[in-house]
Amino acid sequence: MSTSCRLSALFHINCAGMALFLFVLVVLPHAEAKTVYWGRSKKTIVLDPGHGGTDAGAHSSDGTLEKKVVLDLSQQIADRLTGTYRVNLTRSDDYQLDTDRRTDVANNFGADVFVSIHAAGSYVSASKGICIYYFEGVAPGEINDSGSQKESQVSLPVWDHLQLRHIHTSRMLAKNLKDRLAPLSQTTITAAPLLVLRGADMPAVLIEIGYLSNPEDAKALRDPQYLKSLTVAIANGIDAFFSDLRQAN
């Protein structure tokens, strides 16, 4: 091989070596960092304390207000979940928030789970227990938020169909929560076209933690120890949901 050919070969070998060195130095550390980052990233939970401000929600005969009970419980759940998850509340004080805005908050935070917390009220004082709702779509004109206000007959925009692709995982979340809440009180799961769940682009449920119109439930919801039990059950249900989701995937 001539001297010029040997120099040319060495040049190409050195260039190839330099390219490999740069690849190892620049590309691989970034790839490793990305793997570590995604492996350690925390899931985001958005908790939605219902009502607020002038909208007090349901109330008991002694004046216990839904808006206060659900805010207190949501803050306790947030405290328990923080550290394991990134946790945000749609409201952190006594102010009113439009229904659509609650879902917007969850979507803007890129939430992995959305849980709306409520307490029920009924004209039938015997009604009691916990009910967990996940979204079920219906034809335009049939959706209502409280059983009294109907939608217009206009077709729903695409944004309002976001929850439809999460029905399976929302139902899975509801089941995991029910399994943990059932020892505390009679617990049911119901599919319903609730407005607060409709635009959520993640697994989403609404939990009615009891009936303030029922004396027994209302007494329990005033008991700090019972609220602590609800906190643990809901937090454990969320943990179990993510565990089941990892196994399913």
Cα separation, 180 vs 77, in Å, equals: 14
- Domain carrying residue 183: 43-248
Looking at the DSSP assignment, which residues form a beta bridge with residue 88? 46
Q: What is the pLDDT of residue 162?
A: 87
Of the pLDDT bands very low, low, confident and very high (cuts 50, 70, 90), residue 140 is very low
> What integer is the mean pLDDT of 117-144?
83
Examine the pLDDT at 24 and tell me if it is beyond 70. no
Q: For the chain, how long is the longest CA-to-CA vector?
A: 102
Same domain, 186 and 209: yes
Examine the pLDDT at 99 and tell me if it is beyond 50. yes
Give the count of domains, the chain: 2
Same domain, 57 and 24: no
How does the average pLDDT of the chain come out, rounded? 82
Kindly give, in sequence order, each residue whose CB lies less than 8 Å from that of residue 112, ignoring residues fewer than 6 positions away. 43, 44, 45, 202, 203, 242
- Does this model's pTM top 0.75? My answer is yes
Same domain, 156 and 110: yes
**Count of other CB atoms within 10 angstroms of residue 214:** 22
Q: Which two tokens stand for residue 106?
A: 């969850």
**CATH number for the domain including 138?**
3.40.630.40
* 105 Rama class: left (phi>0) / alpha (psi -120 to 50) / beta: alpha
Examine the pLDDT at 180 and tell me if it is beyond 70. yes
Q: What is the pLDDT of residue 9?
A: 43
Q: What is the pLDDT of residue 161?
A: 75
Examine the pLDDT at 179 and tell me if it is beyond 50. yes
- What's the number of CA atoms in the CB half-sphere (13 Å) around residue 124? 4
Q: What is the pLDDT of residue 145?
A: 41
Same domain, 28 and 57: no
